Structure 1
Amino acid sequence: MDPNGFDAYVAAHGTPLLRFAFLLTGNYHLAEDMLQEALMRVHRRWSTLERTDAIGNYVRRAILRQYLSWRRRRSSGETPSATAPDVALPGSDHAERYAERDALRQALTALPRQQRAVLVLRFYEDLDDTAIGELIGCSPATVRAHASRGLARLRGTVHELEGGRLR
Protein backbone atom coordinates (compact mmCIF):
# COMPACT_ATOMS: atom_id res chain seq x y z
CA MET A 1 0.00 0.00 0.00
CA ASP A 2 1.35 3.40 -1.00
CA PRO A 3 1.13 5.80 1.99
CA ASN A 4 0.98 8.77 -0.38
CA GLY A 5 -1.74 7.22 -2.54
CA PHE A 6 -4.62 9.00 -0.86
CA ASP A 7 -2.76 12.34 -0.77
CA ALA A 8 -1.84 11.97 -4.44
CA TYR A 9 -5.44 11.12 -5.34
CA VAL A 10 -6.80 14.16 -3.50
CA ALA A 11 -4.14 16.42 -5.05
CA ALA A 12 -4.99 15.18 -8.53
CA HIS A 13 -8.80 15.05 -8.20
CA GLY A 14 -9.62 17.50 -5.41
CA THR A 15 -10.54 20.48 -7.58
CA PRO A 16 -12.95 18.59 -9.87
CA LEU A 17 -14.51 16.91 -6.82
CA LEU A 18 -14.97 20.29 -5.13
CA ARG A 19 -16.54 21.66 -8.32
CA PHE A 20 -18.90 18.67 -8.38
CA ALA A 21 -19.88 19.26 -4.74
CA PHE A 22 -20.39 22.98 -5.43
CA LEU A 23 -22.70 22.24 -8.34
CA LEU A 24 -24.77 20.03 -6.07
CA THR A 25 -24.99 22.44 -3.14
CA GLY A 26 -24.73 25.88 -4.72
CA ASN A 27 -22.64 26.94 -1.71
CA TYR A 28 -18.85 26.90 -1.84
CA HIS A 29 -18.32 26.53 1.91
CA LEU A 30 -20.90 23.78 2.26
CA ALA A 31 -19.30 22.04 -0.73
CA GLU A 32 -15.92 22.16 1.03
CA ASP A 33 -17.45 20.70 4.20
CA MET A 34 -19.24 17.99 2.27
CA LEU A 35 -16.12 17.06 0.32
CA GLN A 36 -14.07 16.94 3.51
CA GLU A 37 -16.58 14.63 5.19
CA ALA A 38 -16.75 12.39 2.13
CA LEU A 39 -12.94 12.22 1.88
CA MET A 40 -12.71 11.30 5.57
CA ARG A 41 -14.97 8.34 4.89
CA VAL A 42 -12.98 7.40 1.80
CA HIS A 43 -9.70 7.64 3.73
CA ARG A 44 -10.93 5.03 6.22
CA ARG A 45 -11.41 2.55 3.38
CA TRP A 46 -8.45 3.65 1.27
CA SER A 47 -6.43 0.43 1.68
CA THR A 48 -9.34 -1.53 0.18
CA LEU A 49 -10.26 1.03 -2.48
CA GLU A 50 -6.70 1.48 -3.65
CA ARG A 51 -6.73 -2.05 -5.07
CA THR A 52 -9.86 -1.45 -7.19
CA ASP A 53 -10.64 0.57 -10.30
CA ALA A 54 -13.76 2.11 -8.76
CA ILE A 55 -12.17 4.86 -6.65
CA GLY A 56 -13.77 7.67 -8.67
CA ASN A 57 -17.26 6.17 -8.44
CA TYR A 58 -16.86 5.49 -4.73
CA VAL A 59 -15.78 9.08 -4.02
CA ARG A 60 -18.62 10.56 -6.12
CA ARG A 61 -21.09 8.27 -4.35
CA ALA A 62 -19.74 9.43 -0.97
CA ILE A 63 -20.19 13.07 -2.02
CA LEU A 64 -23.70 12.33 -3.28
CA ARG A 65 -24.64 10.64 -0.03
CA GLN A 66 -23.34 13.61 1.91
CA TYR A 67 -25.35 15.94 -0.33
CA LEU A 68 -28.56 13.92 -0.20
CA SER A 69 -28.44 13.67 3.60
CA TRP A 70 -26.91 17.02 4.63
CA ARG A 71 -30.28 18.58 5.46
CA ARG A 72 -30.93 15.90 8.03
CA ARG A 73 -27.77 16.79 9.95
CA ARG A 74 -27.69 20.56 9.51
CA SER A 75 -29.78 23.08 11.33
CA SER A 76 -32.80 24.29 9.42
CA GLY A 77 -31.39 27.83 9.50
CA GLU A 78 -28.57 27.08 7.08
CA THR A 79 -29.30 27.93 3.46
CA PRO A 80 -27.17 27.99 0.29
CA SER A 81 -25.34 31.23 -0.38
CA ALA A 82 -26.78 33.68 -2.89
CA THR A 83 -23.40 34.29 -4.52
CA ALA A 84 -21.60 32.17 -7.08
CA PRO A 85 -18.00 32.41 -8.25
CA ASP A 86 -17.50 34.51 -11.38
CA VAL A 87 -16.39 32.55 -14.43
CA ALA A 88 -15.40 34.72 -17.39
CA LEU A 89 -16.39 33.58 -20.87
CA PRO A 90 -14.56 35.23 -23.76
CA GLY A 91 -16.55 37.31 -26.23
CA SER A 92 -19.72 37.93 -24.24
CA ASP A 93 -21.10 40.82 -22.22
CA HIS A 94 -20.24 40.53 -18.52
CA ALA A 95 -23.62 41.73 -17.25
CA GLU A 96 -25.58 39.44 -19.59
CA ARG A 97 -23.35 36.50 -18.71
CA TYR A 98 -23.84 37.14 -15.00
CA ALA A 99 -27.62 37.49 -15.35
CA GLU A 100 -27.91 34.22 -17.30
CA ARG A 101 -25.67 32.34 -14.86
CA ASP A 102 -27.56 33.76 -11.90
CA ALA A 103 -30.91 32.77 -13.42
CA LEU A 104 -29.67 29.23 -13.99
CA ARG A 105 -28.20 29.03 -10.47
CA GLN A 106 -31.49 30.19 -8.96
CA ALA A 107 -33.41 27.66 -11.01
CA LEU A 108 -31.01 24.85 -9.98
CA THR A 109 -31.28 25.84 -6.33
CA ALA A 110 -35.08 25.54 -6.53
CA LEU A 111 -34.95 21.91 -7.74
CA PRO A 112 -35.47 19.00 -5.35
CA ARG A 113 -32.18 17.34 -4.31
CA GLN A 114 -32.68 14.14 -6.35
CA GLN A 115 -33.47 16.07 -9.56
CA ARG A 116 -30.54 18.40 -9.05
CA ALA A 117 -28.18 15.49 -8.38
CA VAL A 118 -29.35 13.71 -11.55
CA LEU A 119 -28.88 16.82 -13.70
CA VAL A 120 -25.42 17.54 -12.28
CA LEU A 121 -24.34 13.93 -12.81
CA ARG A 122 -25.74 13.89 -16.35
CA PHE A 123 -24.49 17.25 -17.60
CA TYR A 124 -21.42 17.92 -15.46
CA GLU A 125 -20.10 14.40 -14.92
CA ASP A 126 -21.41 13.20 -18.33
CA LEU A 127 -22.72 9.92 -16.91
CA ASP A 128 -25.39 7.74 -18.48
CA ASP A 129 -28.64 6.77 -16.77
CA THR A 130 -27.34 3.40 -15.59
CA ALA A 131 -24.26 4.90 -13.93
CA ILE A 132 -26.32 7.67 -12.32
CA GLY A 133 -28.81 5.09 -11.03
CA GLU A 134 -25.98 3.08 -9.48
CA LEU A 135 -24.59 6.18 -7.76
CA ILE A 136 -27.92 7.42 -6.44
CA GLY A 137 -29.41 4.02 -5.77
CA CYS A 138 -32.38 3.94 -8.14
CA SER A 139 -33.32 2.46 -11.51
CA PRO A 140 -32.41 4.06 -14.87
CA ALA A 141 -36.14 4.71 -15.43
CA THR A 142 -36.28 6.71 -12.19
CA VAL A 143 -33.17 8.63 -13.29
CA ARG A 144 -34.89 9.52 -16.58
CA ALA A 145 -38.00 10.62 -14.68
CA HIS A 146 -35.94 12.85 -12.36
CA ALA A 147 -34.08 14.30 -15.36
CA SER A 148 -37.26 14.96 -17.30
CA ARG A 149 -39.01 16.63 -14.38
CA GLY A 150 -35.91 18.60 -13.44
CA LEU A 151 -35.35 19.88 -16.97
CA ALA A 152 -39.03 20.82 -17.34
CA ARG A 153 -38.91 22.70 -14.07
CA LEU A 154 -35.64 24.41 -15.05
CA ARG A 155 -37.09 25.51 -18.37
CA GLY A 156 -40.18 26.94 -16.68
CA THR A 157 -38.18 28.73 -14.00
CA VAL A 158 -35.66 30.18 -16.46
CA HIS A 159 -38.47 31.40 -18.74
CA GLU A 160 -40.15 33.09 -15.78
CA LEU A 161 -36.87 34.71 -14.75
CA GLU A 162 -36.10 35.81 -18.29
CA GLY A 163 -39.55 37.32 -18.68
CA GLY A 164 -39.31 39.20 -15.40
CA ARG A 165 -35.67 40.26 -15.28
CA LEU A 166 -33.47 39.41 -18.19
CA ARG A 167 -35.34 40.62 -21.26
Structure 2
Amino acid sequence: PVFLYVGRVAVEKNLDAFLGLDLPGSKVVVGDGPLRSSLQTRFPQVHFLGTRTGRALADVYASADVMVFPSLTDTFGMVLLEALACGVPVAAFPVMGPLDVIGKSGCGCLDDDLRRAALGALRVPREKCRAHALTFTWQESVRQFLDNIGRAHASPACAAVAGAMAG
Protein backbone atom coordinates (compact mmCIF):
# COMPACT_ATOMS: atom_id res chain seq x y z
CA PRO A 1 0.00 0.00 0.00
CA VAL A 2 0.97 3.65 -0.51
CA PHE A 3 0.63 5.93 2.51
CA LEU A 4 0.63 9.60 1.55
CA TYR A 5 1.17 12.91 3.32
CA VAL A 6 0.45 16.18 1.52
CA GLY A 7 1.27 19.55 3.03
CA ARG A 8 3.92 21.80 4.41
CA VAL A 9 7.00 19.97 5.63
CA ALA A 10 7.38 21.77 8.94
CA VAL A 11 7.52 21.00 12.64
CA GLU A 12 3.88 21.91 13.33
CA LYS A 13 2.72 19.16 10.95
CA ASN A 14 4.08 16.43 13.26
CA LEU A 15 5.56 14.43 10.37
CA ASP A 16 7.77 12.33 12.66
CA ALA A 17 4.57 10.67 13.92
CA PHE A 18 3.89 9.44 10.37
CA LEU A 19 7.39 8.85 9.02
CA GLY A 20 8.43 6.86 12.09
CA LEU A 21 5.55 4.37 11.76
CA ASP A 22 6.22 0.74 10.91
CA LEU A 23 3.87 0.33 7.95
CA PRO A 24 3.85 -2.08 5.02
CA GLY A 25 4.39 -0.63 1.55
CA SER A 26 5.60 2.88 0.78
CA LYS A 27 5.43 6.31 2.35
CA VAL A 28 5.20 9.36 0.11
CA VAL A 29 5.52 13.01 1.11
CA VAL A 30 4.28 15.78 -1.19
CA GLY A 31 5.19 19.31 -0.21
CA ASP A 32 8.12 21.38 0.84
CA GLY A 33 9.27 23.28 3.87
CA PRO A 34 12.07 23.86 6.34
CA LEU A 35 12.26 20.23 7.55
CA ARG A 36 12.40 18.56 4.15
CA SER A 37 16.17 18.05 3.90
CA SER A 38 16.56 16.83 7.48
CA LEU A 39 13.61 14.44 7.15
CA GLN A 40 14.97 13.10 3.84
CA THR A 41 18.25 12.36 5.62
CA ARG A 42 16.56 10.71 8.61
CA PHE A 43 14.03 8.74 6.53
CA PRO A 44 15.81 7.71 3.30
CA GLN A 45 13.19 5.04 2.53
CA VAL A 46 10.47 7.71 2.19
CA HIS A 47 9.72 9.16 -1.25
CA PHE A 48 9.84 12.97 -1.07
CA LEU A 49 8.26 14.38 -4.23
CA GLY A 50 8.38 18.09 -3.47
CA THR A 51 5.54 20.40 -4.37
CA ARG A 52 2.81 19.21 -6.75
CA THR A 53 -0.20 21.14 -8.00
CA GLY A 54 -3.15 20.64 -10.31
CA ARG A 55 -3.28 17.41 -12.29
CA ALA A 56 0.09 16.24 -10.96
CA LEU A 57 -1.19 16.49 -7.38
CA ALA A 58 -4.48 14.78 -8.26
CA ASP A 59 -2.51 11.93 -9.85
CA VAL A 60 -0.49 11.46 -6.65
CA TYR A 61 -3.64 11.39 -4.55
CA ALA A 62 -5.27 8.90 -6.92
CA SER A 63 -2.27 6.56 -6.66
CA ALA A 64 -2.35 6.51 -2.86
CA ASP A 65 -4.18 4.02 -0.68
CA VAL A 66 -4.35 6.17 2.48
CA MET A 67 -3.77 9.85 3.24
CA VAL A 68 -2.04 10.11 6.61
CA PHE A 69 -2.63 13.40 8.41
CA PRO A 70 -0.40 13.47 11.52
CA SER A 71 -1.01 17.09 12.54
CA LEU A 72 -2.40 17.75 15.99
CA THR A 73 -2.96 21.48 15.47
CA ASP A 74 -4.58 22.14 12.06
CA THR A 75 -7.94 23.82 12.32
CA PHE A 76 -9.46 22.21 9.22
CA GLY A 77 -7.05 20.48 6.87
CA MET A 78 -8.09 21.20 3.28
CA VAL A 79 -5.86 18.32 2.14
CA LEU A 80 -8.32 15.98 3.85
CA LEU A 81 -11.05 17.09 1.45
CA GLU A 82 -8.65 16.86 -1.49
CA ALA A 83 -7.83 13.27 -0.58
CA LEU A 84 -11.47 12.32 -0.10
CA ALA A 85 -12.40 13.93 -3.42
CA CYS A 86 -9.87 11.60 -5.05
CA GLY A 87 -11.37 8.63 -3.23
CA VAL A 88 -8.55 8.29 -0.71
CA PRO A 89 -9.44 7.45 2.92
CA VAL A 90 -7.81 9.40 5.73
CA ALA A 91 -5.87 8.25 8.78
CA ALA A 92 -5.44 10.85 11.51
CA PHE A 93 -5.48 11.56 15.19
CA PRO A 94 -8.95 12.32 16.65
CA VAL A 95 -8.39 16.08 16.92
CA MET A 96 -10.16 19.15 15.54
CA GLY A 97 -9.79 19.29 11.79
CA PRO A 98 -9.98 15.55 11.17
CA LEU A 99 -12.97 15.34 13.53
CA ASP A 100 -14.69 18.12 11.55
CA VAL A 101 -14.04 16.57 8.14
CA ILE A 102 -14.06 12.82 8.83
CA GLY A 103 -16.11 12.65 12.02
CA LYS A 104 -18.27 9.53 12.06
CA SER A 105 -18.52 9.38 8.24
CA GLY A 106 -16.57 6.14 7.97
CA CYS A 107 -14.29 7.74 5.34
CA GLY A 108 -11.20 7.22 7.40
CA CYS A 109 -9.90 6.12 10.74
CA LEU A 110 -9.25 8.48 13.62
CA ASP A 111 -7.24 6.94 16.43
CA ASP A 112 -4.73 7.98 19.07
CA ASP A 113 -2.56 5.21 17.57
CA LEU A 114 -1.70 6.58 14.12
CA ARG A 115 -0.42 3.21 12.90
CA ARG A 116 -3.72 1.55 13.79
CA ALA A 117 -5.55 4.40 12.03
CA ALA A 118 -3.41 4.01 8.89
CA LEU A 119 -3.93 0.27 8.69
CA GLY A 120 -7.65 0.60 9.44
CA ALA A 121 -8.09 3.18 6.67
CA LEU A 122 -6.95 0.58 4.15
CA ARG A 123 -10.35 -1.11 4.58
CA VAL A 124 -12.40 2.01 3.70
CA PRO A 125 -14.08 1.87 0.27
CA ARG A 126 -12.85 4.62 -2.07
CA GLU A 127 -16.35 5.38 -3.38
CA LYS A 128 -17.51 6.16 0.16
CA CYS A 129 -14.73 8.77 0.46
CA ARG A 130 -15.68 10.46 -2.80
CA ALA A 131 -19.37 10.59 -1.83
CA HIS A 132 -18.51 12.18 1.52
CA ALA A 133 -16.28 14.79 -0.15
CA LEU A 134 -19.26 15.89 -2.23
CA THR A 135 -21.06 16.97 0.96
CA PHE A 136 -18.48 19.81 1.22
CA THR A 137 -19.28 21.55 -2.08
CA TRP A 138 -20.28 25.23 -2.28
CA GLN A 139 -23.75 24.15 -3.38
CA GLU A 140 -24.10 21.92 -0.32
CA SER A 141 -22.77 24.68 1.96
CA VAL A 142 -25.34 27.13 0.61
CA ARG A 143 -28.12 24.56 1.03
CA GLN A 144 -27.13 23.95 4.66
CA PHE A 145 -26.89 27.69 5.32
CA LEU A 146 -30.36 28.36 3.87
CA ASP A 147 -31.83 25.40 5.76
CA ASN A 148 -30.39 26.79 9.00
CA ILE A 149 -31.87 30.23 8.29
CA GLY A 150 -35.25 28.63 7.59
CA ARG A 151 -35.15 26.66 10.84
CA ALA A 152 -34.07 29.72 12.82
CA HIS A 153 -36.80 31.85 11.23
CA ALA A 154 -39.45 29.25 12.01
CA SER A 155 -38.36 28.83 15.65
CA PRO A 156 -40.52 30.29 18.46
CA ALA A 157 -37.52 32.23 19.79
CA CYS A 158 -37.03 33.96 16.45
CA ALA A 159 -40.73 34.81 16.23
CA ALA A 160 -40.62 36.31 19.75
CA VAL A 161 -37.60 38.46 18.89
CA ALA A 162 -39.18 39.60 15.62
CA GLY A 163 -42.40 40.46 17.45
CA ALA A 164 -40.56 42.44 20.11
CA MET A 165 -38.63 44.37 17.46
CA ALA A 166 -41.83 45.20 15.51
CA GLY A 167 -43.70 46.42 18.56
Structure of greater relative contact order (alpha carbons < 8 Å, 6+ residues apart): 1
TM-score by length of 2: 0.27
More helix per residue: 1
TM-score by length of 1: 0.27
